[in-house]
Structure 1
Amino acid sequence: MKIIVNLDVVLAQRKMSMTELASEVGVTMANLSVLKNNKAKAIRFSTLEKICEVLDCQPGDILEYRAGD
């Protein structure tokens, strides 16, 4: 089982860059890259909430569960 982060898909749909998102959310590009590249071990709910607010999306638009991967 694996949690997949589809942040790049949502960013493309919103025509927003990682730099813009990092600035608006208030996180570093490095931390956002770790999340986007599925290397993160955890995410704070406050960060997830802010990402969803900025991208006008739901957590399920960004996070996906895949069994058996």
Structure 2
Amino acid sequence: MPIVVDIDVMLAKRKMSVGELADRVGITPANLAVLKNGRAKAVRFTTLDALCEALECQPGDLLRWEADEDRERS
């Protein structure tokens, strides 16, 4: 998928655990892991807002686009 989730990067910068972030955001650690590992198909803006508030960052610090090699070959 061309959208890459960089929550790990922000967690490391903030020296915060997945469990602590999940508590601050109000989601389960399992759901946060799905998002963190790039397996989520969607993210609610309210969740993105809560992540940005908890990590003191911008949405662009958490999400980025990369070209999909399969699409480029088509």
User: TM-score, length-normalised on structure 2?
Assistant: 0.90
Q: Which runs of 5+ in 1 are unaligned?
A: none
Give the corresponding residue for 1:57.
Answer: 57
Give the corresponding residue for 2:33.
Answer: 33
Runs of 4+ that moved beyond 2 A: none
User: TM-score, length-normalised on structure 1?
Assistant: 0.96
Q: How does 1:16-27 map to 2 (within 5 A)?
A: 16-27=16-27
Q: Counterparts of 1:27 and 1:36 in 2: how far apart (Å)?
A: 12
Question: Is 1:7–2:7 an aligned residue pair?
Answer: yes
Greater C-alpha Rg: 2
Identity rate of aligned residues, in percent?
59
Aligned length, in residue pairs:
69
Aligned CA-pair RMSD: 0.9
Q: Which runs of 5+ in 2 are unaligned?
A: 70-74
Corresponding residue SS for 1:31? helix
